[in-house]
Amino acid sequence: EKVCQLQLENSMLKPNIEANEKKDILNIPSENVALKQQQDIPKPNDEQKAIPAGLEAMQQVKDNEIEKQQIADDEKKQDNNNYTYPAINFDMFYSASKLLNTFIGHICYVNNIDYSTFDGGQFICFGSYDTKVHVWEVGTNEQVQLFEEHSDRVSCVKFSPYHYYNYHRHIICSSSYDKTFRFWDIKDNRQLKIFREHKRWISGIEFSSFNGGRYLCSGSGDKTIRLCDVGTSKLLHIFNGHESDICCLDISPLQSNSNNNHIGVIGGNGYTICSGSNDKTIRVWDIETAKQLTLFKGHKKFVNSVKYGSNESANIILSGSTDKSVRLWDIRSNAQIQTFNGHTKNVTCAEYSPFVVNNKEASASSNVICSGSHDRTIRFWDIRSNKNALHMIKEEKIEDNGITCLKFVPVKKKEKNCGCNFNLYYGSANGYIRIWG
């Protein structure tokens, strides 16, 4: 809205400048007439000379304001995990993509990668079995922070939307096998808070898509999911029902363009949590009541990854399992709707991609998913067909020892490589993070 207002003011200035220029041209007499009437033409004083220059200066100021506001809006969109980017033709990615770079920081299994932008830069954070949490700047390929206080393996890391939206602070949260999740201040290089709610290792964490990320859910080897208020540090709910360790979880996407949904006690009326477990099931929970809504059975081994889609896929859960399969589940019909087979080892991670394939509609939503496996491949699938994978990325380095996590990261316009707006970051079992784009 601010950009539109600035552009309107700018457009109102332009006619004044053009009118003055036209007036100056019309007032230029012929050379002879000018010589004859030279003494009769009053010279403009300093104030009159300053009018066109002043208008041009005002226009330049408006142009600068518009540019700054557009940059701020772009950064806000990238910071907001709920922002949905336009779908991109998959052909543009796979036809020209290649290995671009490698981050070397961890010495063993990378569990999770997250992404954010602030202060004009792009950053990723990742955690590993080496108990460390790293923060790297994407543009410079340099580590900017390292947190080492966890006493056991780090299972998950996330940038905190709550602290950014409310205090403009750059905070990350990490969970660990040491039974804690902790908040870290990136700029001050210190630990802010530590939560000790679980009785066993914590497998994953996720911030709420609503209320500016005020709520954080965590899954654990104690078979429970816990929901905490980040603002007050209070435990709100405990979700019970799984019969074995919880391996993964996700929170349903934002239902509107507003981050301030204050319906219900928590503010999450209509929102759900999905979780995958070593009990081979996927369960869906109501955030307000902590009641189990749906139970999905189908996987034959541990469920390692669960993800909600966005837009038309908001009611579809994507899962990956130790049984080597990738599956889709419809919450509305309480049924499995698709199975993708092809991996030859455990599927460790699965993600909705920003890509679209074989769709003539320019505004079509993504219909491509991808999965990573210990078989050292990343495979892309068309959600409308369970036939062979659309494309496969195979690790070039044998020592990588398998794909462990995936993250699509928006690319700044000046850094685009193949006309695609995203690069794919993936972690490996040996600690490397590689960038494909």
31-53 mean pLDDT = 51
Residue 360's pLDDT band, with cuts at 50, 70 and 90, is low
Length of the chain: 437
Tokens linked to 436: 């494909």
DSSP line for 285-320: EETTT--EEEEEE--SS-EEEEEE--GGGTTEEEEE
pLDDT, greater one: 62 or 202: 202
CB 340 within 8 A of CB 386: yes
DSSP line for 129-157: TTS-EEEEETTTTEEEEEE---SS-EEEE
CA distance 252 to 291: 15
Q: Say if residue 357's pLDDT is above 90.
A: no
Q: What is the pLDDT of residues 396-437, one digit of tens each?
A: 766 778 999 999 999 876 555 555 788 999 999 988 899 998
pLDDT at 62: 54
Q: What is the pLDDT of residues 99-156, one digit of tens each?
A: 998 888 777 899 999 999 988 899 999 999 999 999 999 888 889 999 999 999 999 9
CA distance 409 to 421: 8
With a threshold of 0.85, does the pTM exceed it?
no
pLDDT, greater one: 83 or 227: 227
Measured from the Cβ of residue 46, the count of other Cβ atoms closer than 10 Å reads 6
Considering only CA atoms, which of 370, 379, 377 is closest in space to residue 408?
370
Q: What percent of the chain has pLDDT over 70?
A: 73
Q: Say if residue 202's pLDDT is above 90.
A: yes
> What is the CATH superfamily name and number for domain 87-436?
YVTN repeat-like/Quinoprotein amine dehydrogenase (2.130.10.10)
Least confident of 54-68, 210-224, 258-272, 406-420: 54-68
Where exactly are the structural domains of the chain?
A: 2-78, 87-436
328-350 mean pLDDT = 97
Cα 87 to the chain's mean position, in Å? Answer: 14
Three-class SS of residue 335? strand
> What is the edge-to-edge ordering of all strands in the sheet holding 432-436?
99-104, 432-436, 422-428, 403-410
CA distance 411 to 203: 29
Q: Residue 198 phi/psi, 5° resolution?
A: -90, 155
pLDDT at 363: 47
Least confident of 55-69, 70-84, 199-213, 368-382: 70-84
pLDDT at 77: 46
